[in-house]
Structure 1
Amino acid sequence: MAKWLVAYASMTGNTEEIAELIVEGITQSGYEVDLKSVTDFNAAEVLKYDGFMIGVYTWGDGELPDEFLDFYEELDELDLSGKRAAVFGSGDTSYEQFCGAVDLTAKKLLERGAEVSSEMLKIEYSPLEQEKEMCRDFGRRFTATDVQVS
């Protein structure tokens, strides 16, 4: 059975909540999934999984958060060819680059050879009630075999 990872960087808890909802969706699909903060493990651990999802909040106008930088830089050492990946995160629409860190992370994963889902989940702040099911569904769709990748 496939094993999945959902890893995230969260300062206020918004991206962590999104990650937890995604994990619920994956679990509802009958898959095994680990949930980890990027500050608690090395990026090379993603190689142990059939696929992974990375959650990152956007700092300022499209910037990566400080606690995500080590993980992001560790990705440069990895060959992610054949690994399925997806990216999600939280941000603030008052900035010109809404969820820019999500876009930067997806680009990095593509550069490293990952098969990145063309669908990214971007939530303003914390998920509203109607967005919670969207998060669960994002996890369910990612574990499906017919995900479109870029």
Structure 2
Amino acid sequence: MSKIAVIYWSMSGNTEAMANAIAEGAESAGAEVDVKQVSEITVDQALEYDKLALGCPAMGAEVLEESEFEPFFTQLEGRLGGKKVALFGSYGWGDGQWMRDWQQRVDDANASLYHGEGLIINETPDDDGLEQCRQFGAGFAGF
């Protein structure tokens, strides 16, 4: 059984809802899952998990949240080599450039990116979006 950390930052609750649904999906597939806000975990603690599902919404000009999540990810990314990683987040504008940039950073760190891309949902996830998150989590558990 894999041990997964779902680590996220959320301002409006959209990415938090995604995180919880991803965790539900992973647990339904047999994974042991801990859900943590980024402020509740250190990089060293995160690296103790078999797999990391990382969530952050698009901020500003389509970037990661800059005061908590970006510093955490900057410290983490140099140590992701060989780690299985899933990315997710919500957005309200733009075309997902923040996710493409983030995916590239994970690829550059030689991590294994689940699905080859992150899961993005526009604004608040509806029932279909939450089901998409659950399926994403279940798939990540078996990745």
- The TM-score with structure 1 as length reference comes to 0.86
Q: C-alpha deviations, 1:40-99, integer Å up to 9, x for none?
A: 222232321111110110012311212212112212442x2221111011001x32xx33
Q: Aligned with 2:25: secondary structure?
A: helix
Classify 1:144/1:77 alpha carbon distance in 2 versus 1 (closer, same or farther; 3 Å). closer
Does residue 54 in structure 1 map to residue 47 in structure 2? no
Matched residue, 1:148: none
- What SS does the aligned partner of 2:87 have? strand
Is the 2:103–2:117 Cα contact (8 Å) retained in structure 1? no
**Which of structure 1's runs of 4+ aligned residues deviate more than 3 A?**
none
Q: Does 2:113 correspond to 1:116?
A: yes
* Residue 138 in structure 1 maps to residue 139 in structure 2: no
Q: Is the 8 A contact 1:89 1:99 kept in 2?
A: no
Aligned residues: 141
**Could you say which residue in structure 1 is the equivalent of 2:41?**
41
Whether contact under 8 Å (1:56, 1:101) holds in the other structure is no
Say if 1:61 and 1:100, in contact at 8 Å, map to a contact too.
Answer: no
Cα distance in 1 for residues equivalent to 2:3 and 2:9: 21
User: What do the CA deviations read for 1:20-46 (whole angstroms, capped 9, x no partner)?
Assistant: 000000111121011111122222323
Amino acid at match of 1:70: P
Greater RCO, CA 8 A, separation 6+ = 2
Q: Is the 8 A contact 1:90 1:125 kept in 2?
A: yes
Query: Unaligned regions of 5+ residues in structure 2, if any?
Result: none
- Contact 2:30–2:141 (CA under 8 A) maintained in structure 1: no
Give identity over the alignment, percent. Answer: 34
